[in-house]
Amino acid sequence: MAVTEGVRPVAERTSAKRPNRLFKNMTAKIASIPMILTALVVFIGCTLWTIYHSFTKSRLLPAPDKWVGWDQYERLWNTRRWLVSIENLAIYGVCSLVLSLVIGFTLAALLDRKIRGEAVFRTIFLYPFALSFIVTGLVWQWILNPQFGIQQVVRNWGWEGFTFDPLNNAEIVIYGILIAGIWQGSGFIMVIMLAGLRGIDQDIWKASRVEGIPAWKTYIFIIIPMMRPIFVTALVLIAAGIIKVYDLVVAQTSGGPGIASEVPAKYVIEKMFQAQNLGQGFAASTMMLVSVLVVLIPWAYLEFGGKRRD
């Protein structure tokens, strides 16, 4: 090995300017300013601002000096409308999680059976995802219209006593919204699942065929366990979407009948921009954030906790 002892003084003939750590890669840093500002000011700053003001008695205007502790939260959890909203979100959330995953996976599995016209079916299942929740809500409002919609059609077929009027029945209105929500979003889950199925080594299928395992067993015992990461991703995406449900309800029922189909996101917006009760809006939105964190933190821990992220 070449020994270079005693050549150390060569360093002094350095002509290069010592690069300052801060100025190194300067252009990249300048170009990233919008990202840095968004991350720090909006995502962190605004979130903290809202959390702080949820402990104040803000009404029409934010009142950072009127500290009231947990008052807003107590009021919130004593408001029937909020409780209904939470209950609705829970029902909608659980049902839409389960149904989206089941429908999404089933359709993906069917499309993966090397069928004819796969592209046509995929196009049909996915197109609702291109439509807005407003459009979705309004169409389903019309289809579920008791006078002209499904209820009337079935009655015309001779089944006179048939009743299916979810949008005017406080008991089941949330399921009416669910039908529309699933219609809009399940195609998306199907696409993700299909991508997952296509990512599975085809040799797995050959192996199970050689061993004579029926297709449905292969799916349940081999494919689904292999697709765990895809399911987790789908789960997180659906969950994140559920908490944001707002436009769909606004368009389909406006929260009615009465307050039967209220959701937390709608509660927040109305408290902030109509009821001039900012403090309540901040407290309610903070609760939404908390529920997201409840889902997100375990996921992030599982996903990135053990291994180093590249």
Partner 1 sequence: MTDATQTTPQRTAAAMSGPRGPKPRRRITPSNIMLYSILFVASVYYLLPLYVMVVTSLKGMPEIRLGNVFSPPVEVTFEPWVKAWSEACTGINCDGLSRGFFNSVNILIPSVVLSIAIASVNGYALANWKFKGSEVFFTILIFGAFIPYQVMIYPIVILLREMGQGISAVTGTDFRLMGSLWGLVIVHSIFGMPILTLLFRNYFTSLPDELFKAARVDGVGFWGIYFRIMLPMSLPIFVVAIILQVTGIWNDFLFGVIYTKPDTYPMTVQLNNIVNSVQGVKEYNVNMAATLLTGLVPLVIYFVSGKLFVRGIAAGAVKG
Partner 2 sequence: MGNTTVRTAALEQQLVQDAAKAGIAASAATPSIEINDLKLSFGAFEVLKDLNLTVSQGEFLVLLGSSGCGKSTLLNCIAGLLDVSDGQIHIGGRNVTWEEPSERGIGMVFQSYALYPQMTVEGNLSFGLKNARVPKAKIAEKIAAAAKTLQIEPLLKRKPAALSGGQRQRVAIGRALVRDVDVFLFDEPLSNLDAKLRADLRVEIKQLHQTLGNTMIYVTHDQVEAMTLADRIAIMRGGNILQLASPNEIYSRPTCKYVAEFIGSPSMNFFEGTVTDNTFNSAAGSFDLQGYDFAAQTVPGQSAWLGIRPEHIAVGDAAAAEQNRMQAVVELVEPLGSDTLARARAGDQSIWVRMDGQAAIAPGDELALGFSASLANLFDKTSEERL
- Using CB under 8 A as the criterion, which residues of the chain lie in contact with partner 2 when the complex forms? 1-11, 13-19
3-state secondary structure 58-78: CCCCCCCCCECCCHHHHHHHC
- C-beta closer to partner 2: residue 19 or 214: 19
Q: Is 140 in the site for partner 1 (CB under 8 A)?
A: yes
Q: Which of 59, 81, 60, 78 has the alpha carbon at shortest distance from 68? A: 59
Q: Are 183 and 125 in contact (CB under 8 A)?
A: no
What residue type is 33 in one-letter code?
Answer: I
Task: Please report, for residues 44, 50, 72, 252, 265, the alpha-carbon distance to residue 62 in angstroms, rounded to integers and kept in the order given.
Answer: 18, 10, 14, 32, 19
Q: Is 278 in the site for partner 1 (CB under 8 A)?
A: yes
Only one of the segments 1-9, 70-78, 91-99, 226-234 lies at the binding site for partner 1 (rule: CB under 8 A); that segment is 226-234
Tokens 């609702």: give the residue. Answer: 128
Give least dist CB 201 to partner 1, A: 17
Give least dist CB 7 to partner 2, A: 6
Q: Which does 222 bind (CB under 5 to 8 A by kind): partner 2, partner 1, none?
A: none
Half-sphere exposure of 264 (CA within 13 A, CB side): 25
Q: List strand residue ranges (DSSP E) for 183-269, in order.
A: none
Please pick, from the candidates 19, 25, 209, 301, the single residue that binds partner 1 as defined by CB under 8 A.
25
Q: Is 301 in the site for partner 1 (CB under 8 A)?
A: no
Q: Is 285 in the site for partner 1 (CB under 8 A)?
A: yes
C-alpha radius of gyration, the chain, whole number: 27
- C-beta closer to partner 1: residue 174 or 180: 180
Residues 230-269 interacting with partner 1 (rule: CB under 8 A): 230, 233, 236-237, 240, 243-244, 246-247, 250-251, 254, 265, 268-269
How far is Cα 307 from Cα 218, in angstroms, rounded to an integer? 29
Q: Is 133 in the site for partner 1 (CB under 8 A)?
A: yes
